[in-house]
Structure 1
Amino acid sequence: MLRLTRGTEVEVLSKKAVDCVLGAWVGAEVISTSLHTCTVRYGGGRDGIVEETVLRTAVRPLPPPLEGATNFTPGDFVECCHSFTWRTAKILKAVSDNIFLVQLHGDLNVGYVVHKSVLRVRQRWTSNRWYVLGKKSAFMCECAKENNPSPMKKDIGLDDDEDSESSSESSDGSSSIGEAGHESDDRSRY
């Protein structure tokens, strides 16, 4: 189980933070924990500072940045920072090298023109590891080996005293980096 202590910075899948049934990932700070839940605080959105209690399975460490992974093309599924949250979005059109027209998952008739600095590659935290998700799949149920040719190079650790597992390759060929102690699986969240 992911070690969560007061003050730890995490991302939480919140339905409270957005008007979207699917929810969105929002950066948060851990306030308190119990065996199955975690109370977090986040702010900056339309409701100001919010405290929310969520299941531990809806909490993940902050995703690592993926250097050089900004060659987005129409049809790609990414995460887009919108209203202080990260939501799955589809790139509809490249307006220029740095500007894209995107459609947020769940917002069928609305498009947003955004700078590539508010886009990131989708990643999934499951079984103590980060997986890069396929750029052409809207769902988080499969790790895409064709879009993850090399292991992620950054070790993810929230606690200095925890031992990290080494880089490994799973049976489906996708590469990952792990951290001991987390059993979250968020594959059905989007």
Structure 2
Amino acid sequence: MSKYRQDEDRLNELKTGNHRAWKLFFDENIEAFSLFTMKYGQIDREQAAGIFQEAVIILHRNCTEGKLTAPLRSSLQTYLFAIGKNLCRRGGKAHLQFPENLPELPENPFEAEDDRRHNAALVKSLLGRIGEKCRQFLTLVFLEEMPQPDIMQQMEIPSDEAFRKRKFDCLKKMRTLI
């Protein structure tokens, strides 16, 4: 069984020419694609948008002409990014700095950053509402990422079992506050 089953299902839907499916695919990928080509292709947003449109046209042609078929060897997003990478290279820019392997990008980098900020604010407010020992312990473990032996010594925790128990209890307190 292919590890890209969801992408293969989407590919089958795109092959039908469903306008809504193409619009959704377009909207889901334009921002990450633009950021990728702007960063590694050293181009501006307008050029990135033009390359994205060309890449989607090529992807559409490959889908409808049967050049892209299951089983897939990469995700559709990776395939689209590879098309864009090749289009940038053909544009005559010798100074392009694309990585050999395409990085895994979040679905929407702006949403991921917003989620991270929201979660950080939530954790800060929860840390303010639990006891001092738990606040100090969780801060050392998760925010400062201090090694376990150092935390055990600093907080006078006698054993690994006591460390795990304190971690469990403190996280449980935080969960009840959510």
**Length-normalised TM-score, structure 2:** 0.19
Higher RCO by CA contacts (8 Å cutoff, separation 6 or greater): 2
**Length-normalised TM-score, structure 1:** 0.18
Structure number with the higher strand fraction is 1
Tell me which structure has the larger Cα radius of gyration: 2
